Structure 1
Amino acid sequence: MDYWCQWITGEFTLNVHSQIIGVNPHELESYDFAPRQKV
């Protein structure tokens, strides 16, 4: 899984999720993610 983003300016607006957090790449394996969608 690869994601890279950079917050430039403005406010985040949550529409569906309950929170947004920033983590280091090595911390990602500590989280449970939904299975990927097969296309």
Structure 2
Amino acid sequence: MNSPKDLKKQLRKEALARRDALDEFWRVEIALEMAETAKEK
């Protein structure tokens, strides 16, 4: 069985791979939109 440290490492690797698979322009646009929304509240 995997240790919690190994599991965390694997989950992080998978999450970063999903993020990196997204279109870079789209990611920037969404980040800016979220920042603007947070600023308004």
Bigger fraction of residues in helix: 2
Larger Rg: 2
Assess same fold via TM > 0.5: no
For CA contacts below 8 A with separation 6 or more, give which structure has more relative contact order: 1
Q: TM-score, normalised by structure 1?
A: 0.22
Q: TM-score, normalised by structure 2?
A: 0.22
